[in-house]
């Protein structure tokens, strides 16, 4: 059973921010090796930074979803990977 099976086929609310994930990834990519980004803005939202609530969670969820689609299996099966 995977997480979506447990949720009736729906991602959790924090994974459904109303964002363009490709544009969000383009913004996030240069920040991956840095620690001076605004965690609060990315994960809790910021009008000043034009980041809707849960943007970071949605982006992370999508990255993991795409990886699991490519390699197969569910998150629980890859927890030690």
Q: What is the mean pLDDT of residues 22-40?
A: 92
Stretch among 7-11, 20-24, 72-76 having the lowest mean pLDDT: 7-11
Q: What is the mean pLDDT of residues 56-78?
A: 88
Average pLDDT over the chain, rounded to whole? 86
pLDDT at 1: 47
H runs (alpha helix) in the chain:
3-6, 21-28, 39-44, 55-71
pLDDT at 43: 92
* pLDDT-derived band at 50, boundaries 50, 70, 90: very high
Domain edges within the chain: 3-73
Joined tokens for residue 25? 């990834």
């Amino acid at each position: 059973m995977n997480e979506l099976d447990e949720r009736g086929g729906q991602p959790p609310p924090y994974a459904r921010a109303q964002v363009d994930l490709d544009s969000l990834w383009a913004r996030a990519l240069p920040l991956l090796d840095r620690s001076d980004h605004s965690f609060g803005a990315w994960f809790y939202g910021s009008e000043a930074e034009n980041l809707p609530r849960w943007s970071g969670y949605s982006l992370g969820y999508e990255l993991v979803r795409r990886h699991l689609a490519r390699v197969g299996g569910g998150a629980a099966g890859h927890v030690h990977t």
